[in-house]
Amino acid sequence: MDGEFPDDSDGRVLKMMAERGLDMSRPVKFEFSIHVEDEENAKIVLEGLKAAGVGDAKEIIFDEGELEDGEEMTKENEEFWPSWTVYVYQSMVPGYERVIEFQRTLAEICKEHGKPDGWTVELN
């Protein structure tokens, strides 16, 4: 543990938020991301989220990636491949257990169709 946040990635980001002056007692807009293989799986995940009533808002976004002209997709440049993501926007008071629990809920809804792989918060 480091202060009030566990020593893992979720705890570290929450700590960064607190250190950078974010009011941790007020709701913050979290942007949770679910990696999906293709559009078909993205739609299945989105329907699951809607049915469960999870998230203030959600959307499917195709990211065209950053491969250069003629550049082939290899394991080494995977970070730059085109990809599909389902984003779930949720306002909540920042807290480790809340963030972990929300990601757990997303994983249960996604099942084999997608994988929650992170979240983002704007600092200013």
Partner 1 sequence: MKSALRHLVILFTILCGTTISGASIQEAQAEVIFGKACFHEGELGFSANFNAPKTTPVGSTRHVEIPPAENGAYFGMLENGKAYVGKGPPSRARKSLRKKSREQNSPVDDIAHYPEAASFAKEAELIEDLGGLDAPDLLNKINSPGKK
Residue type present at position 38: D
The owner of tokens 């792989």 is 117
Is 115 a binding residue for partner 1 by CB under 8 A? The answer is no
Is 104 a binding residue for partner 1 by CB under 8 A? The answer is no
Task: Determine which residue in the list 63, 101, 107, 111 makes contact with partner 1, applying CB under 8 A.
Answer: 63
- Over the window 67 to 96, marking each residue x when it contacts partner 1 by CB under 8 A and - when it does not, the resulting string is -x---------xxx--x-x-----------
Number of Cβ within a 10 Å radius of residue 18: 15
CA-CA distance, 53 to 72, in Å (whole number)? 40
Q: Which is nearer to partner 1, 9 or 51 (CB)?
A: 9
Residue type present at position 111: K
